[in-house]
Amino acid sequence: MNSKPKSGKVVRAIAYAAVVAVTGCIPQSSAKLVSLENSTLNLSAIAESEPTAKPVAILTGHPSYVQAIAITSDGQILASSGDDNSIKIWNLAQGIRIRTLTGHSKPVHAIAISPSDVSKMPALLASGSYDGSIKIWNLATGELIRTLTGDSDSVLCLAISPDGQTLASGGLDKTIKLWNLRTGTLIRTLTGDLDAVNAVSFSPDGQTLASGSADQTIKLWNPNNGIRIRTLTGHSDWVNSVTFSPDGQTLASGSNDGTIKIWNLATGELQSTLKGKAVMVNSVAFSPKGQTLASGSLDNTIKLWNPRSGELKSTLAGDDSQVNSFAFNPDGQTIVSGTNDGIINILQVPK
């Protein structure tokens, strides 16, 4: 672990106004957008006419794939992890790399940061790796607190409960493990998935845990007793990402089948399916106020959707590399994304 602050290279860029390309395309105004129960909104016909915003800043430091992005709840600190087996900690406002955390022996595929406003305990960073371990770090100092080794295979996803007490992990061993984040004790193991667990997410009230699997399903769990509440089916390929709306009423999922599905959590019913270009969706996230749903995919863009109407609002383009992970800044004004070429893009969210 390198505890000395380092200056990450920051390339400041001009903030581009939204540009609409119309050559050889169907104008957006000619496409009728509707919201129907269990509907599919196919916007690929107007994909080339979507407005595109460029990065306002770029951070470099990872030599290759940036696998995961996490931002503290106050928006001050950014963490990124990648195929270089490391986690980098950044001052997000200044674009300065504070330190690099090392200790994993294989790529770090998942990171999560505990909420900084729910207790007086120090903020913790959890990192999960292909080496099968989870490491817990003091975010402020970079100190390694402990290593959890209960997973029998690669760790693919992590999530921390809103109260900062429970860590959920999922991976290639087809299980979800719930840990006491502060003590490192394994609380319970959830089983039922037929393939790798690619994604986990806690509801805003912490009473529901969602998981997305390579077996094409989404499962909802009660994390307090480990009981499976229901299984959501509808995707035709791996589920890569799941996220709750801020009000806890809906869940969005992104899949290798190229779609984003929005589910009613009270009933488990599929509300709508959003589909742009037919490429796999790696990551989905609601904006802090829930008015926008973002999706990152293999077409090297982040798409911003109206989750109620299904309308494609705009497209953010970082560089010519696929988007692996992204996160909204808590103020909702920017999105930070990590890509295959080692670049971290800071993108302005159009108003």
Confidence (pLDDT) at 55: 79
Which of 130, 125, 63 minimizes the C-alpha distance to 344? Answer: 63
Q: Which tokens hold the place of 186?
A: 């394994």
Q: How confident is the model at residue 300 (pLDDT cuts 50, 70, 90)?
A: confident
**In whole angstroms, what is the distance from residue 73 CA to residue 66 CA?**
21
State mean pLDDT over 256-268.
96
pLDDT score at 25: 27
Q: How far apart are CA 47 and CA 54, in angstroms?
A: 16
Angle at 330 between CA 303 and CA 183, to 5 degrees: 115
Q: Encoding tokens for residue 285?
A: 């996230």
* Cα 164 → chain centroid: 18
Q: Kindly report the three-state secondary structure assignment for every residue of the chain.
A: CECCCCCCEEEECCCCCCECCCCCCCCHHHCCCCCCCCEEEECHHHHHHCCEECEEEEEECCCCCEEEEEECCCCCEEEEEECCCCEEEEECCCCEEEEEECCCCCCEEEEEECCCCCCCCCCEEEEEECCCCEEEEECCCCCEEEEECCCCCCEEEEEECCCCCEEEEEECCCCEEEEECCCCCEEEEECCCCCCEEEEEECCCCCCEEEEECCCEEEEECCCCCCEEEEEECCCCCEEEEEECCCCCEEEEEECCCEEEEEECCCCCEEEEEECCCCCEEEEEECCCCCCEEEEECCCEEEEECCCCCCEEEEEECCCCCEEEEEECCCCCEEEEEECCCEEEEEECCC
- For 301-336, the pLDDT digits (tens) are 899 999 999 999 999 886 677 888 999 999 999 999
Confidence of residue 119 (pLDDT cuts 50, 70, 90): low
CATH topology of domain 9-348: Methylamine Dehydrogenase; Chain H (2.130.10)
d(CA 18, CA 316): 9
Task: Compute the average pLDDT of residues 210-232.
Answer: 97
CB-based contact 272:43 (threshold 8 Å): no
Beta pairing partners, 97: 90
**pLDDT by residue (tens digit) across 24-61?**
222 222 222 222 333 333 333 333 335 466 778 889 98
Predicted local distance difference test score (pLDDT) of residue 347: 92
Q: What is the pTM of this model?
A: 0.84
C-alpha to C-alpha distance for 346 and 335, rounded to whole angstroms: 6
Residue 299 confidence (pLDDT): 85
**pLDDT tens-digit map of 135-177:** 999 999 999 999 998 767 899 999 999 999 999 999 999 999 9
Average pLDDT, the chain: 84
